[in-house]
Structure 1
Amino acid sequence: MVAHKILVIDDSKVIRMRVKDMLPDGNFEVIEAKNGLEGFNLINTEQPNLIMLDFLLPKMSGWEVYQEIQKRPELKVIPLVLMSGRKEEVTEKLTEPFELFSFIEKPFDQKQLIDAIKDAMAKARKHPKVVAPPAQDVSGDLSGGGAANDVAALQKRIDRLESEVETLKKQMSQLVSFIKQKLK
């Protein structure tokens, strides 16, 4: 039985194979996806313990996959290593320091890969774990249920606000890029 699943989402077969070959021997299975859509579907069906995500992908970009991961608390806790040959494309959309994931610039060697994985795991441990809301007491005392409903409503608002902040960040980044282009 495999203890850990590592999902490598990259349109380059060479990169997928390199990552597989660079990983130390261990009790894990490497799952590969050649585009963002396939990768996102595998995240949902395979429930990997680690995601290695290329930023530039066909069908669904790494940026879009990242945004979908951030919308779902149960996916946000999975350690994530974002990969790209051009760091500036990542920093246009996501500002440093990267707190939610680890970043590795292509090409990379085995030590850089292992360090990025360790960093991603440490960052993932900082995320609050997803906890199911407490069950309502059906014995007539609904005071706990009201609090659970309030917490769920607040969590929905927080999720919506985080989504709006991400959208605003993206728009601001696009605006800055546009202004920089006009100033050239």
Structure 2
Amino acid sequence: MASHKVLVIDDSAVIRNMVRDMLPKGNFEVLEAKDGVQGITLVQQERPTLIMLDFLLPRMSGWEVYQKIQEQPELQSIPLVLMSGRKEEVTEKLTEPFEYFEFVQKPFDQRQLIAAIKASMSKAKRRPGVVTTSTSTGDANAEVAQLKAQVARLQTEMAALKKQQAQILAFIKQKLMNK
């Protein structure tokens, strides 16, 4: 029995299948929506435990889906991972730091996906109005979770920078060898 219901809203079947394949087997029931209208309908009907939302969608954009979710307090507490190949499109509408959702840049690998999911769950718990136990231990745990999410995000950024550096180095080597 799946313990988490994940809704993947993306117009690319490749991305939807990739997310399904990257999630640990048996723990997740994956629901799919190919556009924003279908996505918001499934959010309201299914009440998933996690939403993975592409920012550029047909019929209703990811931005519009995000706004609809924010209009409904009972949906705001659902952890959200925004996905896009161009982060600047997201930051045009939503300024960083992303306080109540996580962002993952396409293409992403399994480690980046899992880190984004964990960070989104942590951020959703910190959202005002979300019912959590509030004790000094709870506050310390929330702070530790926040720091862990920040470390995970920094590790993801470092990995991306290392990858870019390796690509630049390979490009330079190739150009030097062609001289």
Q: Give the TM-score, by structure 2 length.
A: 0.71
Letter in 2 for 1:100: Y
Letter in 1 for 2:71: K
Do structure 1's residue 129 and structure 2's residue 130 form an aligned pair?
yes
Name the CA distance, whole Å, in 2 between partners of 1:60 and 1:93: 15
Name the CA distance, whole Å, in 2 between partners of 1:27 and 1:114: 13
Letter in 2 for 1:129: V
Do structure 1's residue 67 and structure 2's residue 62 form an aligned pair?
no
The residue number in structure 2 matching 1:20 is 20
The residue number in structure 2 matching 1:85 is 85
Note the 1:19-168 alignment, pairs <5 A: 19-127=19-127, 128-129=129-130
Name the CA distance, whole Å, in 2 between partners of 1:27 and 1:93: 33
Shift in Å at residue 3 of structure 1?
A: 2.5
Structure 2 stretches of 5 or more lacking a match? 132-179
Letter in 1 for 2:96: E
Name the CA distance, whole Å, in 2 between partners of 1:110 and 1:87: 19
Q: Deviations over 1:13-38 (max 9, x none)?
A: 00000000011123320000000000
Name the CA distance, whole Å, in 2 between partners of 1:29 and 1:49: 10
Of structures 1 and 2, the larger Rg is shown by 1
**How many residues align structurally?**
131
Note the 1:164-183 alignment, pairs <5 A: none
Name the CA distance, whole Å, in 2 between partners of 1:65 and 1:53: 8
Q: Secondary structure at the match of 1:63?
A: helix
Shift in Å at residue 56 of structure 1?
A: 0.2
Q: Secondary structure at the match of 2:117?
A: helix
Q: Give the TM-score, by structure 1 length.
A: 0.69
Name the CA distance, whole Å, in 2 between partners of 1:3 and 1:112: 21
Q: Deviations over 1:48-101 (max 9, x none)?
A: 000000000000000000001111111000000000000000000000000010
Name the CA distance, whole Å, in 1 between partners of 2:3 and 2:115: 21
Structure 1 stretches of 5 or more lacking a match? 131-184
Q: CA RMSD in A?
A: 1.3
Letter in 2 for 1:17: N
Name the CA distance, whole Å, in 2 between partners of 1:27 and 1:62: 26
Name the CA distance, whole Å, in 1 between partners of 2:5 and 2:93: 28
